[in-house]
Every structure is written in structure tokens, then in C-alpha cells.
Amino acid sequence: MIISLTGEKKTQKIKEACQKLLQSPQPTIREVARVIGMLTASFPGVMFGPLHYRHLDMDKTVALKIRKGNYNKTMTLPDEAKHELSWWVSSIESVYNVHAGHGQADTTMTTDASKTGWGCSLAGTPTGGSWDSGESEKHVNWLKVKAILLSLKSFVDHICQKHVKILSDNTTAVCCINHMGTSHSKEKNLLVKEIWEFCITNNNWITVAHIPGKQNVIADFESRRGTNDKEWALDQAVYDQAIQLLDVTSSIDLFASRLNYKCKPYVAFRPDPEAQAINAFHISWVNMCFYAFPPFLHYQPSITKNIRREGNRHNSNSTLADPVLVAISNQYVNKLSPYVA
């Protein structure tokens, strides 16, 4: 069943109220709170409405604290709040909602995060990865939400246009995503909005539910297995110098992840949130100018495939990083550290 706002008069009233706030250089806190009330009351008929009022709500709360609870004092609307009001002005006449849910989920995904990495599993296929230095410093609640975003992106080809049920052992992540945002944290709200924008782009609907931590075995394992020792990469300065000296431009990185790729697009060995393809051995290298720094285990197969490709290619170049640059045992680490990141 489709639900929309009743009558042109109501939509026009909301539109005019938002326009008035946009035109006012310093509206009173009471005026802002009144518009927020109108927006939240319309949510049953506006499917993605909750994505477009959180900045306005948070800014109102901050202003109210500064003004010591006086609703008659004025406040200034930041750009983020103005963008939200502009969305309502341009969208209110065409939005709607779907009543009684979105049916049964087509597939189920489990996700998890630790302070070292993230992990997930979809239909028996696990994947995960490490955090970068900035991400690892975030609060665990933020990491749990980020893990859901990375998980969705990693399996985008498998979940496009589907209703996905996501299981997380973090109640904050469950509530924030199901409510399409939070007014308690700008960082988490931006992350949740990115998740829903991803879903809108790929015609997904997601439902997030809680799973006890001790039952979230696969995703938990993937988030803790640690991949930092596997994220070998040439130092960026060395790579840039080599590319310049060889006078080549790599069009793709064949063995990479979201943390160590040297160029985009890149190919990952497992489902990855930003990879163009999975498993470089499953795609053709013919007529491809690529950069490759394969793991030690896959170096010989890479050489073999490249030799076969040489006999079939036409006017193409490649750069295959030599593993002699990478320390094989601890005694070489200090010696080679300037060349390997």
C-alpha cells in the first residue's frame, strides 16, 4: 500500500514553512522547532524524510543550550541544515511511503567490527578487512555502522534491487540505521545517511536486526583475523618514481584492497567495497596496462599468466612489482623498510 501526504494544502504548508526558514537570516528557535515538528509528523507519508532533518534538529538543540532554554532567542542555520530544508522544498510534492513494510527479506547478511577490522558474511561467503589509522581510532559504535556500509558495498553485485536483512550485535547500529539517522552524533548520522544513499542508488531496502555476539561467529572472526601483515605495498614515493622512470600509466591494479591500491580501478582477491572485480586470475589481462604486486603465494601464477598474455597482447604494457623488494623474513625488514609500506 502506498501512502502519501493528504491534500495539496498540507504539502504546500510544509513547503512554505521550509521556504520561510531558508529566507530568514536568523529565525527564532521556536520557529525552527515548529518546522521540525511539521517534518517529523509527515514521516508516515515521506519514506526517506528522516534522512533530511537531523542537522536541523541538532543545530536547534545546540542553540537552545546556548540560549539557556529560551525558545524566543534567534539562531543561525548552517549550510547542512539549509540543504535539508531545500530537499523538503523540492521533494515534498512528489514523495510517498510504503505501508506495511517491504515484504520478506531476499537475503541475510551478518556484520561485525573490532578495533582492528571489519567483517561480514553473505550467503556463506565471508569477507572483511582492516581499518586505516584514522578509522581505528573511532568509537566502536561508529565502527559497527561503518562495517555495515563496507559490507553492503562489498556485495553490491549480489544485493542490488533486493531487500537485505542485516544482523549486527550492536544495538546502536541497529537503531541508527532503522531510524535513518541519529540526532546524538553528527559522525554516525553522516555514516547512516551514506548507507541509505547507497541503498537508494542501488534500489535496496535494508532492515537491521540484533544478533547476540556469541552467535555472530563468522563476521566476528573476519573482523579479528587481521590483515595488516598481508597489506604489502610499495611505498607511494617509490611507486610514483618507478612509474615516472618507466614512462607508463597503469590503468588498473590487479592485486589490491581499499587500503593499499596504487591506482583505480583495482582488483581484489575477496569481496571488497571499492574493487571493480574480484580475483585477477579470473579476468583477462590481454591488452591491459596493469600494475601488479601479487602476494608471495600468487607470484609464480602471476608470472605464468603474464607470459601467456605477452603472446596475445597488442601494444600494451604492464608493471609487475618484483617481490625481492619485500622482506621475506624479519632479518630484512629494517634493510627494506624505506621501500615497502
pLDDT (tens digit per residue) in 173-227:
999 999 999 999 999 999 999 999 999 999 999 999 999 999 999 999 999 986 6
Q: At residue 244, what is the residue type?
A: Q
**d(Cα 226, Cα 230) in Å, to the nearest integer?**
8
Q: What is the pTM of this model?
A: 0.86
Grid coordinates in use for 20? 520561510
Residue pointed to by grid coordinates 579479528: 224
CA distances from 235 to 68, 141, 193, 259, 325 (A): 53, 32, 34, 13, 10
Q: Determine which of 41-55, 111-125, 244-258, 322-336 has the lowest per-residue pLDDT on average.
A: 322-336
**Greatest pairwise CA separation for the chain in angstroms:** 78
**d(Cα 236, Cα 53) in Å, to the nearest integer?**
41
The answer to whether 180 touches 196, Cβ cutoff 8 Å, is yes
The torsion defined by the Cα of 306, 309, 311 and 314, in degrees rounded to 10, comes to -120
Burial (CB < 10 A; 0-12, 13-18, 19+), residue 289, is middle
Return phi, psi of residue 125, to 5°: -105, 115
In the prediction, which pLDDT does 56 show? 98
Sorting pLDDT into bands at 50, 70 and 90, what band is 228?
low
The tens digit of pLDDT for each residue in 241-298 reads 888 888 888 889 999 999 999 999 999 999 999 999 998 888 888 778 888 888 766 5
All residues at 6 or more sequence positions from 7 whose CB lies less than 8 Å from its CB, including other chains: none
Percentages helix, strand, coil for the chain (3-state, rounded to 5) are 50, 15, 35
Pick the CATH number of 107-224 from 2.60.120.1140, 1.20.1560.10, 3.30.420.10, 2.40.110.10: 3.30.420.10
| Bridge partner residues of 277 (DSSP) | 267
In the prediction, which pLDDT does 332 show? 36
Q: Which residues of 141-166 are buried (b: 16+ CB within 10 A; e: fewer)?
A: bbbbbbbbbbbbbbbeeebeeebbbb
Q: Is pLDDT at 308 greater than 80 in this prediction?
A: no
Grid coordinates in use for 47? 519514506
All residues at 6 or more sequence positions from 55 whose CB lies less than 8 Å from its CB, including other chains: 78, 80, 81, 83, 84, 186, 189
Sorting pLDDT into bands at 50, 70 and 90, what band is 305?
low
Average pLDDT, the chain: 87
For residues 25-53, give the mean pLDDT: 96
| Bridge partner residues of 318 (DSSP) | 290
All residues at 6 or more sequence positions from 214 whose CB lies less than 8 Å from its CB, including other chains: none
Return phi, psi of residue 110, to 5°: -105, 140
**d(Cα 153, Cα 289) in Å, to the nearest integer?**
26
DSSP 246: H
Sorting pLDDT into bands at 50, 70 and 90, what band is 311?
very low
The answer to whether 172 touches 141, Cβ cutoff 8 Å, is yes
CA distances from 85 to 62, 196, 223 (A): 18, 18, 39
